[in-house]
A and B are shown apart, each in its own frame.
Chain A
Amino acid sequence: MSINVADAQVGDRLPEQTRTTDFANWNRYAAVNYEFVPIHMDDEAGRSAGFASAFGMGNLQWAYLHNLVRDWLGDAGRIVAIDCRFGSPNIRGATVTAQGVVTARRVQGGTTFLDLEIWTQDQDGTKLAPGTATVALE
């Protein structure tokens, strides 16, 4: 892995971010995003929706992906774009790891852009929120 983000090359991996996820995470997020939805706060509601338990917000996976890219980038640049799809739910108690890898380095209009593949996955390796990001080194 390149120590300096400005020198990042294709194949470089971003430092992983891992956390165990439960109501302690989701209640905090519900409180700041006004997202008080029973499937995120009550196991029975999660089971009624066809899942093993309550599960975390898609928006919180979205936040974890931003944390991953932002913390790696530091002062070296800015996030230009991020996308993800919600593939699998973040079941209560899952250990979620956000990961990423550089897939392209390109120069456009005098600015260097890095394209990234990013994702969150659970302890079994199931991808929860796979996506991509583009950052500008400027």
Chain B
Amino acid sequence: MTNISAEMRAAVGRQLSRRVSYPVSRSDIRRWALAVYYPEPPPSRFIDADAAAKSRWGSILAPEDFNPFAWISAEEDVLDVGAAQNTPDRTEIGLGITPPGLKFQLNGGLHSEYGAPMRPDDVITSVSRLADYTERSGRLGLMLFTVFEDTWTNDDGDLVKRTRTTLIRY
């Protein structure tokens, strides 16, 4: 038995979304740092340009985990999933292929590798692809692992980060 159809295997590598951010703002960096360090104050290098200038980076940088696409993107090309937005089948529905129809989903984990840091005024481009399907039996039965690979680049075309996210469905 398998939940991975030939149609699903053939879809591996397809683009799921492409987004372009608005320029990264100092204010968004400050607020992000305040939120993720709460209730402690964030390091001054995320807040204070003079403190940041004395760091090895020479200026304010965004935290590595900063998300410039959070509220809205300047450009967005995403799959149309209709009412399936939060359902386990949304990826296959968006790709126009028959979904596996599993009922439950979990975020299995993240892996990010980092390149150029994000700085104020950077415009970040994200391209997300369907990277892999695998499956194995576990305590929840036959589990389907779907890997998404999201690659971010900056205005210069430098790699900012590459994140692989694993969705577990069962």
In the complex, per-residue mask of A44-74: 1 if CB is within 8 Å of any chain B CB, else 0: 0000000000000011101110110011000
Expressed in whole angstroms, the minimum distance between the Cβ of B22 and any Cβ of chain A is 13
CA of A32 to CA of B110, assembled, Å: 19
Size range of the interface on A? Answer: 20 to 34
Chain B residues near A81 (CB, 8 Å)? Answer: 111-114
Contact A85 B65, beta carbon cutoff 8 Å: no
Contact B55 A75, beta carbon cutoff 8 Å: yes
Contact A64 B110, beta carbon cutoff 8 Å: no
Chain B residues near A60 (CB, 8 Å)? Answer: 36
Contact B31 A32, beta carbon cutoff 8 Å: yes
Measured CB to CB, the residues of B under 8 A from A are 28, 31-32, 34-40, 43, 55-56, 63-65, 67, 70-71, 106-114, 117, 166
5 contacts between A and B (CB under 8 A): A19-B39, A24-B38, A25-B35, A28-B35, A32-B31
Measured CB to CB, the residues of A under 8 A from B are 17, 19, 24-25, 28-29, 31-35, 58-60, 62-64, 66-67, 70-71, 75, 78-86, 131
